[in-house]
Amino acid sequence: PLRIAVLASGRGSNLKALIAARDAGALPVEFAAAGSDRADADALRLARDAGIPAFALDPKAYASRRDFDRELFRRLDATGAGLLVLAGFMRVLDGEALKPWVGRTINIHPSLLPKYRGLHTHRRALAAGDAEHGASVHYVTAELDGGPVIAQARIAVRPDDDEHSLAQRLLAEEHRLLPAVVALIAQGRLAYLAPDGAALDGRRLAAPLQ
Ligand code: GAR
């Protein structure tokens, strides 16, 4: 099966949803590693409890973003993972360090991209008076929240919604959306099409890296 690595900065509920889907037989993957930029992230505790190798890297221990990201990707390379899933990883990745992983890195973002890249997406959707809100899973490129969108979940905004209620209702959808997309990739039913036309699908991702 496809080996995946997951990065998360905090709570880890999307990681939990991935583990649950795997346990339910709905997600044919092996967890190669879980990583975080915070040693105290609940996501790491969740990973360890599930028997997934977990590691934390402290950004303050590195002179630059690029140095941190180089070490991060060195660790990820060593896991033999074919797919990297950003599940609430709250750091921007350096474009150079990311390059070899473009096409095999996906992110879940809590907005209907291309709307609301960046932070405070629920607040911004409410402030704009949007009738609907949602989450997107997209391939990660050097452009922040700007890579090709794979799939989205939509919910209606209710008149009495606040930031918290909207985020909570959307989170339940995220927990369905992310495992569904990872399953498509793991089954070889979804391919990343590079600008040069090369396709990177789940079968190639599952093959050992050279
Ligand atoms: C999720 O809502 C995810 O979409 C969002 O952070 C939350 C993490 O929750 N990601 C981003 O905002 C990325 N820019 P979790 O740790 O419980 O999965």
**Of all atoms in ligand 1, which is nearest to the CA of residue 108?**
4
| Residues 103/78, Cβ–Cβ less than 8 Å | no
Residue 138 falls in the annotated catalytic set: no
Q: Is the pTM of this model over 0.95?
A: yes
Angstrom distance (rounded) from CA 143 to CA 141: 5
From the CB of 88, is ligand 1 less than 6 Å away? yes
Token pair listed for 84: 């990297």
How remote is the CA of residue 197 from the centroid of ligand 1, in Å?
Answer: 31
The catalytic residue among 109, 122, 133, 138 is 109
Coil/strand/helix, residue 153: strand
- pLDDT digits 0-9 by tens, 184-207: 999 999 999 988 888 998 888 987
Q: Provide the ipTM.
A: 0.99
Which of 15, 52, 22 has its CA nearest to residue 183?
Answer: 22
3-state secondary structure 164-207: HHHHHHHHHHHHHHHHHHHHHHHCCCCEEECCCCCEEEHHHHHC
Give whole-number Cα distances, 124 to 42, 159, 165, 201, in Å: 27, 15, 14, 35
Q: At what angle do helices 163-186 and 13-23 cross, to 10 degrees?
A: 40
Which of 86, 142, 141, 152 has its CA nearest to residue 113?
Answer: 152
14 is in an annotated binding site: yes
- pLDDT digits 0-9 by tens, 25-70: 999 999 999 999 999 999 999 999 999 999 999 999 999 999 999 9
Residue nearest to atom 6 of ligand 1 (CA): 88
64 is in an annotated binding site: no
